[in-house]
Amino acid sequence: MATSVSHPSEPVQLSELWRDPYPAYRYLREHDPVAWVPEAGRYLVTRFEDIMHVERHPETYLSAENPSLMTRSIGETLLRQDGAAHQRLRRAAEPPLRPRVVKEHWLPTLRRNAEDILAPLVEQGGGDLFHDVAGPFAARNLAALLGLRGVSDADMQEWSQAIIDAGGNYGEDPEIWARCARAVTDLDAAMDEVLPVLRREPDPSVISSMLHADDPLTEDEIRTNIRVFLGGGLNEPRDSMAVAAYALLTHDDQRRDVEADPALWKRVFEEAVRWISPIGMYPRRVAERTELGGRVLEAGDKLGVVIASGNRDERVFDRPDAFDIHRAETSHVAFGGGPHFCLGTWVSRAAVGQIGLPLLFRTLSGLRLTETDVPFGGWVFRGPLRLTAAWSPS
């Protein structure tokens, strides 16, 4: 039976979600699967079935939301567009990210980046896999894919984190808005360097593709969409690589299985993004009066589609809180679905599952954690905050 009551059975605090969202998600899936959360100003959708319903009905659950945290921080992007407007932007950016292009053009670049980052670390015998490996690897790959030149790994990571933090700034922290504004200014300066070059000399990058599409994007459209790509396009592969490394380093039996059968690296990646989804929630807006998960929703109501919760739904996954590369259920919603299915999916699978993780464990011999209580943070975006480890110098 549908209900229009606007309060969950138990309050949800965003600060608690940042520390560890999974107990709250478990409670909401069971008791209030479309729950009003005042701090977020939206209903959180937490069951897999309801998430899939939202994805299958984009005409009812719109991506366009203005004002939104994203549009306030970086402007109008394809993630907040629907229908033809969204498709136009997506078609312009998509060609360099298709599976065939990733395989034929980008794999050598991804492999070279991984080797260049890992080689100097061997003799160190220890470090932080999050800051020393996963972050720089994701940053360097993304700079190449986008077409940015002369931008450091550190700048890419700083700009990306500022954009990510602004996109989840439901607490209205003024310093987060200020950091994002500085990042946008610096990124725009980097764009000023490459736009005229790529207009004259096209290459296989995303910026070049946008400039030379059948329906080319304006420079303002390119700038705003590169900002959103810099956010999700860096943190997702970074955090999925760190999560997968953490999972194997805390599950010795599965690590042995993977090292004995390299074909399992693909499963490691897919299970990692199901287990701790790097992008945990994205917003939608209700277009017309409808019902979802037993809740009556009105036109204009805002949703938070919590894919991190859907990926641990007991109705779909056996032992959902366990990391298990051998599980029978392999489908997940970590990359979303429908018209907004993540553009970077194929690159991430190749960079992390096919290249980054195997090279990490092969290059850093005897890899092991030196910190048993690894800190994690976030709910809109989530991953380890550090991953200190040791290995055997050659």
Whether 225 contacts 233, CB under 8 Å? no
What are the start-end ranges of the H helices in the chain? Answer: 14-19, 22-31, 48-56, 69-74, 83-93, 99-101, 107-118, 129, 135-146, 153-167, 174-200, 206-211, 219-249, 252-260, 265-275, 307-310, 345-348, 357-363
Find the helix or strand (DSSP H, E) in which 42 lies: strand 42-45
Backbone angles phi, psi at 230, to 5 degrees: -65, -35
> 275-286: per-residue pLDDT in tens?
999 999 999 999
Considering the four listed CATH numbers 3.40.50.800, 3.40.190.180, 1.10.630.10, 2.40.30.10, the one that applies to the domain covering 14-390 is 1.10.630.10
Copy the structure tokens of residue 164: 């990510």
Per the prediction, the chain carries an average pLDDT of 93
Backbone angles phi, psi at 332, to 5 degrees: -150, 175
Say what the pTM is: 0.93
Q: How confident is the model at residue 78 (pLDDT cuts 50, 70, 90)?
A: confident
304 with 45: CB under 8 angstroms? Answer: yes
Residues 208 and 76 sit within 8 Å (Cβ to Cβ)? no
Closest to 36 (Cα-Cα) out of 65, 66, 12:
12
Nearest CA to 246 out of 281, 280, 279, 276 is that of 276
Cα 394 from Cα 270, distance rounded (Å) = 31
pLDDT in tens, 53-76: 999 999 999 998 877 788 888 888
Give every CB contact of residue 346 below 8 A, 6+ residues apart in sequence. Answer: 97, 98, 99, 102
Count of CB atoms within 10 A of residue 111's CB?
Answer: 16
Q: Per residue in 97-106, pLDDT tens?
A: 999 999 999 9
pLDDT by residue (tens digit) across 3-16? 434 444 457 888 89
Rg, the chain, Cα only = 21
Q: Where are the domains positioned within the chain?
A: 14-390
Query: Residues of 69-82 as b/e, b for ≥16 C-beta within 10 angstroms?
Result: bbbebbbbbbbbbb
